[in-house]
Structure 1
């Protein structure tokens, strides 16, 4: 069947760009790496060739650009592409957009379309829908019963699954991908918190869980949507090719898993009449949840909760352990604190140094490396840059942690001491400077729950094992919505003499 006429200019431009990118890649090693050259504004193509040539190192590339630009940079896309983007890591801009003038910067319809797999859930919602969903989630997640349930799930999973598996790996002298282990850990915990059941992905043999793989595939494609004009990925979606085809397949797997979970939970509630402690049960039973029993509402709510809970915490754990491996002095200080605190494997550790070290890891490797906002009304940001309707404002949380003007000359160092006051207490930094849990009205509702999981797992691993990254293993960020490690975290585990 012939393609509609409007598609041919886009296909022609795509062909031209493919040829251009090939030539650019071929000669890239001969060219200067200065930011002005990397972000050259080409005729017709704008800055897209520069972005494509550096997409493999996008987060560090953003740091290379934003540092000499004074924390804010205007990106020009191809002509007529609609890619009008202001990229910033300026804390003053963050405070203004996320808090001071929050209403002027919604997620917007374009954001919702990019993240279409999340439906009408809280991450995509704006206005009254967002306020209602947030209020309900806040009530349910703050309930003492659920908080107790969440803490118990973390302790039980760490003690009952994480430690036994790592002990076996250590005894057998095998290497293991610790990022994969942590993602399985947090996936199982989050499934139990959201759906009330443990899929046991963190078990002997590391079984493949289609739902978890589908979530990974979906997030990779959604990331790619941010790097090209909307018309391009929409065309690919219509033709069902490339990453869009993979996303469609992942979508079916996700919907099937959630539909089965919802049906099962409804049957259990109707049959036994007992109330579980999980969030799905709470939403089903609460008639005021904005459509509590509606299938789509429950589907959208649970997929948003799964994304928030599974990937972010597991990824943060991997980067934390990696940083301890590279900074033995910090590891020893943490170990000293854990020894003084006592307690068996799997317990929590609420010491000052643990909190400081976790915050420092989150500063350098925030699980969500960027945020995006739309613009309702034109105005000038604190940095002096003007924004207007139709523009997108991108905030690089990854780059913010690497700005000397924000964190000092030692900003690239892993130094937990920066989070400890002279009085020996944890230093509190403003959320617009430390954005790992977002900022303003959309601040993360699961922050305390995330720290509970992080502390339980980190304390258990550090107490019992000396972790060593495999020689030659390359650790670098993966191109995805969540800042996972591209090649995982391959390590060897050695049992400590003292626990």
Structure 2
């Protein structure tokens, strides 16, 4: 009798749980929306799908007309998530002042100090104006183009040639991040860290930046009180952050001190890097008092770390996804090779048959620009942006925002929305960026959100495309890249769209047969050897 009563009780509880579960399902606006549980809210769904977070968010936004409010119950975590272009334009342009980065953003990204990414208001305007003035100069732009070309020619191509000759597999994602780290350190600090040296050494500073990016992502879904305590005690994921921050601070402090000493010894600076330019600019505008120097060093630390994060990881990630998606689209690869052929026809390779392209030669290549833009549409280097709400507001979508609310704008999801890019939104089609007249098609930044929008549009957009084109063209023309069969390619849990498992590839020299044939045809056409 007791067993029967126990069975009835268990059965009753089970039935109540099932009924309640179905009740929760009826409250969902779409099948893709996660279940909102008592106490935990949507937190269970977040952690259950953490391994595919970006695609999970995309599924939710596709079923929720590009908008969704994520709540984590009593934990206090609440975000309004959107990829609606009209909302993006409102937040980043029309009502820009009402949507700052906010104090919580600055706390999550505390490793960036008071740099341009964390700054709001007058501090942000001042830093942006100074950075824009230094980066827009013809001398720095030439220095950036030359650095990218030299690093590709003298470091990356020889490594790939060795892999091709020995038949060894290589992690192209790792190589690209090493290349962009070296180039960015050269541009920002005037120092070549040697990440692409023979043997591919482990660089503590580079490893520290990787640990920072992974931890910053997790801070978005762990309650602030929890990760702050973990950081203070140096336990869990925050232990890596604490160690990484000390490594970064030590490297930057030593580099700043050395550069100051070099400039004092030389009496001036002949370097084109941004650190030297900032020091020279500050020396012109400030006194030499000790208090001023200490403050300036803090500014230099924050500014250089911000610029390093912006330049290294975004470009390295973009190159990785470009060659991944290119390996799946041989038609696009062939068209790119055909576009490069006329330029290669006028150039001679070195003793190893290598061809390297100058930025000026690639500037007006329409299909290359279109292919890179299409890749960034599908795989934006920064998959989401974080904003706070300063005062009550109503978005164009009709959603009410309250002061203190947090907004996440998912650029990764926007590129996959049928309502934004059409039914072929998930396809890789560079042609969508080219008009019927063969010119590049303009897409507004609130729709093509890979470089942000409005007043905070990325200052390094043009420099990024120069580096992307230079490296992509050099690798593509000289080598055939194939992803290793069965290798799983998926996004890493990071604020940058890195590859979780890297990009394992095999490379083969473009037997001169394929490349030479393209060059021959190009020469034939240019000299009128072919007649219609």
With the length of structure 1 as denominator, give the TM-score of the two structures: 0.91
Q: Which moved more, 1:293-302 or 1:363-372?
A: 293-302
Alpha-carbon displacement from aligned partner over 1:15-59 (angstroms, at most 9, x marks no partner): xxxxxxxxxxxxxxxx9x996476111111111111110011000
* C-alpha contact (below 8 Å) 2:189/2:255 kept by paired residues: yes
Q: Which moved more, 1:92-101 or 1:237-246?
A: 237-246
Alpha-carbon displacement from aligned partner over 1:322-361 (angstroms, at most 9, x marks no partner): 1110000000000110112224523142310000000000
1:346 is the counterpart of 2:346: no
1:53 is the counterpart of 2:48: yes
In structure 2, the residue corresponding to 1:67 is in which secondary structure?
A: helix
Correspondence for 2:505 among 475, 491, 494: 491
**Matching of residues 472-491 of structure 1 within 5 Å:** 472-491=486-505
1:294 deviates by: 1.4
Structure 2: runs of 5 or more not aligned: 1-24, 287-291, 350-354, 516-532
* C-alpha contact (below 8 Å) 2:32/2:63 kept by paired residues: no
| Alpha-carbon distance in structure 1 between the residues aligned to 2:259 and 2:225 | 40
* C-alpha contact (below 8 Å) 1:83/1:391 kept by paired residues: no
With the length of structure 2 as denominator, give the TM-score of the two structures: 0.86
Structure 1 runs of 4+ aligned residues shifted over 6 Å read 288-293
> Counterpart in 2 of 1:181?
175
**Matching of residues 158-197 of structure 1 within 5 Å:** 158-197=152-191
| Alpha-carbon distance in structure 2 between the residues aligned to 1:84 and 1:468 | 42
Correspondence for 1:285 among 280, 285, 289: 280
Correspondence for 2:128 among 129, 134, 156: 134
In structure 2, the residue corresponding to 1:488 is in which secondary structure?
A: coil
| Alpha-carbon distance in structure 2 between the residues aligned to 1:424 and 1:318 | 27
In structure 2, the residue corresponding to 1:466 is in which secondary structure?
A: strand
1:200 deviates by: 1.1
Q: Computing the radius of gyration over CA atoms, which structure comes out larger, 1 or 2? A: 2
| Alpha-carbon distance in structure 2 between the residues aligned to 1:362 and 1:47 | 29
1:497 deviates by: 1.9
| Alpha-carbon distance in structure 2 between the residues aligned to 1:384 and 1:485 | 36
1:237 deviates by: 1.9
Correspondence for 1:435 among 417, 442, 449: 449
> Counterpart in 2 of 1:105?
99
In structure 2, the residue corresponding to 1:122 is in which secondary structure?
A: coil
Q: How many residues align?
A: 467
> Counterpart in 1 of 2:374?
360
> Counterpart in 2 of 1:17?
none
1:376 is the counterpart of 2:371: no
1:262 is the counterpart of 2:264: no
In structure 2, the residue corresponding to 1:394 is in which secondary structure?
A: strand
Q: Provide the alpha-carbon RMSD of the alignment.
A: 1.6
| Alpha-carbon distance in structure 1 between the residues aligned to 2:321 and 2:32 | 32
> Counterpart in 2 of 1:24?
none
